[in-house]
Amino acid sequence: MPFRGAYCAEIDFGTSATDSYFLDPGNFAASASSYFRFMLYLSPDLTMANADEMSIFDLRSGTTTLEAGVFLNFTTASGFRLGIGEATATSLLSISTGVWHTVEFTFLIDSGACDTGTLDMFLDGSAATQVTGTDQAAITDWRFGSQVITGSSATAGYILLDELVEEAANTATIPTTERYPDTLFMHETGHAFVGPGWIDEVQLLPAVGAADNVIIIYDTNQHEILDRGNIVTRIAQDATTTDRTMTTIAPYYVKRGAYVEITGTAAVDGPWALVKVRPKYRSEGAITQFGRTLNV
């Protein structure tokens, strides 16, 4: 719980130099366009040889044909650079180590004639030179991670990847994730927060067609749900509330933590809980200290 919101994907080149990536079978036909955004961190000790290059995010037709991507490039003359291109980076921007960067990548797939594809990248708001006249087949999957393009992989250090989003329009409309949000959208049972605090509002968003979805909130820091005396509030469906969002407005105070139990018939559209909270502790250290000293 103290580390919720602090997780991300790590690729440690000191452990393995093998290509490591997440693959998604996303299909983009000719003339299609899409927008991607992700966070990227390069460790200060990241080591690559001169002229080596790896893909961080790429689009492929079939399983092997690289059609476009975002690439990490290193040369002794220019240092680390992030770039875009078809098979390799042809438009590059310098990128620093030891800090998080926001990367935005936009593509327009070739229409099938006259090489009409385009690629755009923004690194922390700075635009790379647009790559035009690209020739691509329809995209059948995209990969997010590290894959050797030129030379070999990094030999030391690591990269961190986080908050990958994709949108048919500009990703600027999608907010970044807060570490300690005031409103939690919960799709499974778990703690809204640990320690003292207030629950200002709870909504049950039931699965469409279900009639047995239930939310129960317990005052507990150890997901103790056998003692019904710990129940703070309960929202339940019945036959007359099918497909309706139900809300209870508080505030409810909890001493140990707010544990949200979500049960009932599940589907791709629910049940979910929307919980507005005001926890006392909003830092990793404070939450950890609370867990170490609590004895109730």
Q: What pLDDT, in 10s, does the model give residues 122-158? A: 999 899 999 988 887 888 888 999 988 888 778 889 9
Is the distance from CB of 203 to CB of 197 less than 8 angstroms?
A: no
Judged by DSSP in three states, 171 sits in helix
Q: Cα(24)–Cα(22) distance, rounded to whole angstroms?
A: 7
| Per-residue pLDDT tens over the stretch 154-192 | 888 999 999 888 877 765 556 666 778 889 989 889 899
The domains of the chain, with CATH numbers, are: 9-173 (2.60.120.200), 183-293 (2.60.120)
Q: Extract the tokens encoding 291.
A: 């867990």
In whole angstroms, how large is the CA radius of gyration of the chain?
A: 24
- Cβ(283)–Cβ(2) below 8 Å: no
- Residue 38's nearest CA partner among 158, 166, 132 is 166
Q: Structure pTM?
A: 0.68
